[in-house]
Structure 1
Amino acid sequence: MRSSRSIRNRGRKRKSQVFDLDITSLLDILVIMLVFLLQSTNSTGIILTVPKDVELPVSSSATPSNEGIVVQVSPTNIWVEDKEVLNMDGDIRSQMDQGGRRLIPLFNELVKRKELIKRSAKSSPQAQDFGGIVNLVVDKTVKYSFVKKLLYTCAEAGFKEYKFVVMGLEQ
């Protein structure tokens, strides 16, 4: 009889006790984890659509590209921000200036884009200033002599900082 009473009393004692949970330290840990995750998130915000005939070179560099005008070059075409500005199927020398260093259609489009960026920066305080950055998406089969002409054309148009877009090793 005595053993049955102690079993009954144990159950009553547990039910009558109030359990207090202190979650302050748990909330501190959650806030620290949230801040850590927010700071470790890396997003460049740049989305590029690469034409199907452009094969990007591979790089082990992990530096992300900055905002800028996107110039895409394949062995047959040149695009500026998804607008085709030059088709290189025929004789390309007719599309160059007299020195043979500057691509005239590309130069004209880049100058037009630069002026548009400068006008929007003057009219709107939230608009980004002209930084002179150009992101180059160049097919890996394009010859270096043509890449030099491309860089010269960009520099003459006012784009002095070049960022080459490449495929990462893990992609």
Structure 2
Amino acid sequence: MPIVTPGKRPAKRFLKSKIIGGKISRGRKATNAEINVIPMVDMMTMLVIFLLQQYSSTGEVLYMQKDIKLPDAHHGQTIEVAPVVAISGSEIVVTGVKVADVPDLDRDSGYLNIPGLEERLRDEKKRWEYLHQQDPEKKWDGQVNIQADKGVPFRIVKRVMYSCGVAGYFSLNFAALDLGSAAAAPDKAPGAG
């Protein structure tokens, strides 16, 4: 439907009429601008399909880094939203901020704690408390999600766990790839129904 200015609008066949058409349009330019809405509907359809394919009912809890290969697990639970400590072969990152280098931690074996990690986790705890100060029913659960590479030595993971405990995070969740549903599928033969 074209966009037109309000007022009298005769049918298109009367506009070409010598008798009625001249009286209505007298010196005015036609302001009818016809808009083709088919491309807009096509674009909106593609956008809706794209958004539906990208939708996740659980939400994105973990951002998978390229340099981290997670271990496999057959039994597990879905993790909840909490600060993410990502341990790769080269660095430790908390919610997107680098806090330590793994080679430096290997050289410095005197203490168990990682000061940069503790400080960042305490900042996350303060942020959580500030966001939930108006909600007294919401209690601090002290959860943190640890996303460690398969090849990271346990002594590094142990130091990360200790630093999390010192910062007040006592509920540690380890991220792993879920093989529970994938393990049942290969038992069938390709043609078996």
TM-score for the superposition, normalised by structure 2: 0.58
Q: Secondary structure at the match of 1:125?
A: coil
The Cα shift of 1:130 comes to 2.7
The Cα shift of 1:146 comes to 1.4
Residue in 2 that maps onto 1:79: 93
Selected match of 2:153 from 136, 139, 143: 143
**1-structure distance, mates of 2:119, 2:137:** 23
Q: Is the 8 A contact 2:61 2:79 kept in 1?
A: no
Residue in 1 that maps onto 2:172: 162
Runs of 4+, deviation exceeding 6 Å? 93-96
Matched, 1:92 2:105: yes
Q: Is the 8 A contact 1:74 1:139 kept in 2?
A: yes
Residue in 2 that maps onto 1:102: 113
Q: Is the 8 A contact 1:93 1:100 kept in 2?
A: no
The Cα shift of 1:62 comes to 3.5
Structure 1 residues 119 and 94 mapped into 2: Cα distance closer, same or farther (>3 Å)? Answer: farther
The Cα shift of 1:112 comes to 1.0
Q: Secondary structure at the match of 2:132?
A: helix
The Cα shift of 1:168 comes to 1.2
Q: Is the 8 A contact 2:148 2:175 kept in 1?
A: yes
- 5+ residue gaps, structure 2, are 1-55, 184-193
Q: Is the 8 A contact 1:58 1:167 kept in 2?
A: yes
**1-structure distance, mates of 2:87, 2:137:** 27
Q: How does 1:6-45 map to 2 (within 5 A)?
A: 43-45=57-59
Give aligned-pair identity as a percent.
Answer: 26
Q: Is the 8 A contact 1:44 1:65 kept in 2?
A: no
Q: Secondary structure at the match of 1:109?
A: helix
CA RMSD of aligned residues (A): 2.6
Residue in 1 that maps onto 2:132: 121
Residue in 2 that maps onto 1:153: 163
Structure 1 residues 126 and 44 mapped into 2: Cα distance closer, same or farther (>3 Å)? Answer: farther
**2-structure distance, mates of 1:92, 1:74:** 12
The aligned amino acid for 1:120 is L
Q: Secondary structure at the match of 1:71?
A: strand
Structure 1 residues 59 and 120 mapped into 2: Cα distance closer, same or farther (>3 Å)? Answer: same
Residue in 2 that maps onto 1:37: none
| Number of residue equivalences | 126
Q: How does 1:59-78 map to 2 (within 5 A)?
A: 59-78=73-92
- 5+ residue gaps, structure 1, are 1-41
**2-structure distance, mates of 1:111, 1:94:** 25
The Cα shift of 1:94 comes to 7.6
